[in-house]
Amino acid sequence: MNKIEILKSERDGLKIKEDIPRFAKEGWESISEDDIQRLKWYGLFLRNPTPGFFMQRVRIPNGICFSHQVKALCDIAKEFGNGIIDITTRQQVQLRHLKIDDIPEIFKIQDEVGLTSIQTGLDNIRNIMGCPVAGLSPKEKVDAYSQVKALTEHISGNSEFSNLPRKFNIAITGCTDDCVHAETQDLALVPAVQELAGNSVYGFNVLVGGKLGSGGYRIATSLNVFVASDEVVKVCSAIILLFRDHGNREIRSKNRLAFLIEEWGEEKFRTALQEKLNQPLIPAGVDLRSNEKSEHIGVYRQKQASMSYVGLKVPVGRIHADKLQGIAHLAEKYGNGEIRFSHSSSLIIPNVPDQKLGDLLEESLVKEFTYHPSSVMRGLVSCVGIDYCHLATIETKSRALQVAAELEGKLPDTAPITMHWSGCPASCGNHLVADIGLLGKKIKIGKEVVDAVDVYMGGRTGIDPKLAVKVMEDIPCDELAKVLEFVVPYHTREKMHPIKGKKYKRNWKKAPARKNAETELANEGADKNAVEPN
Ligand code: HEM
Ligand code: SF4
């Protein structure tokens, strides 16, 4: 058994909460290495680059929260942390520089406003993602937020789900735009319609076994199952429990659900699911997603009359608590207090009535975190980087900003493009599903060691998923903008999509390719990350 399996078998991670008051009294150095790992069941990560200080990952189901919750997080960041707040690519929030001494008080404040960091690390079901404009978008077919909430409530603090073989990523979306990277998730529910007893029923098709990171991108494949809204919790729970009971528990770099699906095949997994549920499964319906991709940045009409939502870019997802507090205030003044986080480093103020919209757009914070960023900045995403993550080879966030700023100047009118940075092959910045994916590394030029990247192109999720191709290696970061200046105008997003206007139906019988030797080889180095349980 690997060391994480041993520590889980010795004590359920959820039980570590009882010990936190004692750790707070005795200090971080009194905490054993096993308990440092167990604290990840409550989203507490002791970070090597900042000895003695913890990062806390707070769960925000579907990325939807309210101003009083955001203000509480900002107060915590300022009083107990370093004031920095990261909006992550799983639509949650990370606070930094927290001392274990203050965690009981921090938990109390979060509890009072209905926030928790439970099960956000290690072998748990991570924040359940959803379309950040669920319930608002006129294009939406099903409002999946209630299913995201119901499943989150079912798994949170539930010891049936607190010892999985590895982390488990879920997205449930009713949005027709590809905005949650469904094909990268262990389990994704995407909008679909199925004829049942002569009626068109709107619900979800089920995709399983997607992943990024160690070993590369595996495109989630269809289970050929349709789920109606009221069956979501039951079916998802059964899938997770199949993974819990049959997933590999030996080699941590080979134990995501993807590997069980590869071993069993979709047919066997579907049969096992049917047996577990003890009911016949409904075959997949028609996939209702279009080939659009949206970061939901800009001003958009809602399905509710006379209402709009405003999506603002937070470049590389990092924001100071003072500014976020200001945005929470704007959400109260112009909207209904709601704030939504997207996976692509943006935040959304919904429910702005027409008569208030003009004034909101004049606010200085709205101009700063603009709703009309440049084509380069709009799709810019970066992982944490060397400031806080010891696995990073380069400082991704500042490099990402610097290169984007240079490119903005050179290519002010280019078509929208997604540019994602990861500081190591763990791929937390999702670089394998971007128009341009940048993987950080160090290279030697003469005697000097410099920051560099490998460049990937064309990786995508959605109805026409594609594996990324590595097109260049060892580009020094200082030269990158110069190189990309000649590549970006010819990037192939449009060319790689099927022809516009055509009606797309996924052929559920022909699942997308299951393996990509090229990408696997390209990411061989990722296995080293298995030494850092995340
Ligand atoms: C080999 C495995 C991996 C390791 C060791 C690893 C490590 C880490 C670490 C250390 C952080 C937190 C850094 C910080 O903020 O201080 C992080 C965050 C994150 N990672 Fe990874 N990671 C791995 C694989 C992945 C994969 C495959 C994904 C999926 C794309 C992913 C997605 C994320 C996301 C979204 C965050 C931000 C927090 C969140 O919302 O969950 N990671 N990872
Ligand atoms: S991709 Fe690598 S460097 Fe970036 S946050 Fe993940 S583990 Fe750290």
Which numbered ligand comes closest to the C-alpha of 98? 1
Distance CA 68, CA 106 (A): 15
How many whole angstroms from 492 Cα to the centroid of ligand 2? 27
Cα torsion 337, 229, 130, 149 to 10°: value is 50
Whether residue 213 has pLDDT greater than 90: no
Query: CB of 128 closer than 6 A to ligand 1?
Result: no
Please tell me the number of the ligand nearest to residue 391's CA.
2
Closest protein CA for atom 8 of ligand 1: 534
pLDDT bracket for residue 532 (50, 70, 90): low
If one counts every other C-beta atom within 10 angstroms of the C-beta of residue 159, the result is 10
pLDDT, position 412: 85
Q: Mean pLDDT throughout 342-365? A: 97
Ligand 2 center from residue 428 Cα (angstroms): 5
Give the pLDDT of residue 493: 58
Q: 318-322, 372-376, 459-463, 496-500 — which one is most confidently predicted on average? A: 318-322
In terms of phi and psi (left: phi > 0; alpha: psi -120 to 50; beta: otherwise), the region of 226 is beta
The ligand placed nearest to the CA atom of residue 63 is 1
CA 252/CA 526 separation, integer angstroms: 12
Residue of 90, 345, 389 best suited for mutating to test ligand 2, as the one with most atoms within 8 Å of CB:
389
Mean pLDDT for all residues in the chain: 91
At residue 50, the pLDDT reads 84
Is residue 518's pLDDT more than 50?
no
Q: What three-state secondary structure class fits 456?
A: strand
pLDDT at 291: 83
Q: Give the pLDDT confidence score for residue 507 in this predicted structure.
A: 34
pLDDT tens per residue, range 436-488: 999 999 999 999 999 999 999 989 899 989 999 999 999 999 999 999 999 88
Token pair in block for residue 432: 């394998």
State the pLDDT confidence band at 489, using cuts at 50, 70 and 90. Answer: confident
Which helix (H) or strand (E) covers residue 482, if one does?
A: helix 477-487
Do 174 and 192 contact (CB within 8 A), yes or no? no
Whole-angstrom distance, CA of residue 485 vs CA of residue 488:
6
- How far is C-alpha 152 from the chain's CA centre? 15
Structural domains of the chain sorted by starting position, each given as residue range(s) with its CATH number in brackets: 3-112 (3.90.480.20), 145-287 (3.30.413.10), 298-373 (3.30.70.3340), 377-491 (3.30.413.10)
pLDDT band at 215 (very low <50, low <70, confident <90, very high): confident
Report whether pLDDT(71) > 90: yes
Indicate if ligand 1 lies below 6 Å from the C-beta of 461: no
Instruction: Extract the tokens encoding 109.
Output: 């404040």
- Is residue 428 in contact with ligand 1, taking CB distance under 6 Å? yes
Ligand 1 atom 34, closest CA: 428
Tens digit of each residue's pLDDT (9 = 90 or more) over 162-192: 999 999 999 999 999 888 999 999 999 999 9
Helix/strand/coil (H, E, C) string of 123-143? Answer: CCECCCECCCCCCCCCCCCCC
Measured by CA distance, the residue closest to atom 2 of ligand 1 is 426
Cα 468 to averaged position of ligand 1 atoms, centre (Å):
19
CA distance 396 to 345: 14
d(CA 456, CA 510): 26
Ligand nearest to the CA of 88: 1
Taking the C-alpha atoms of residue 494 and residue 501, their distance in angstroms, rounded to an integer, is: 13
C-alpha of residue 470 to centroid of ligand 2, in Å: 19
- Which of 57, 428, 432 is the best mutation target for the ligand 2 pocket, counting ligand atoms within 8 Å of the beta carbon and taking the most? 428
First CA to last CA across the chain, in angstroms?
18
**Which residues are known catalytic residues?**
57, 166-167, 423, 428-429
Characterise 306 by phi-psi region: left (phi > 0), alpha (psi -120 to 50), beta (else).
Answer: left
Interval between CA 277 and ligand 1 midpoint (Å):
32
493 lines ligand 1 (CB under 6 A): no
Ligand 2 neighbours (beta carbon < 6 A):
383-384, 389, 391-392, 422-424, 426-429
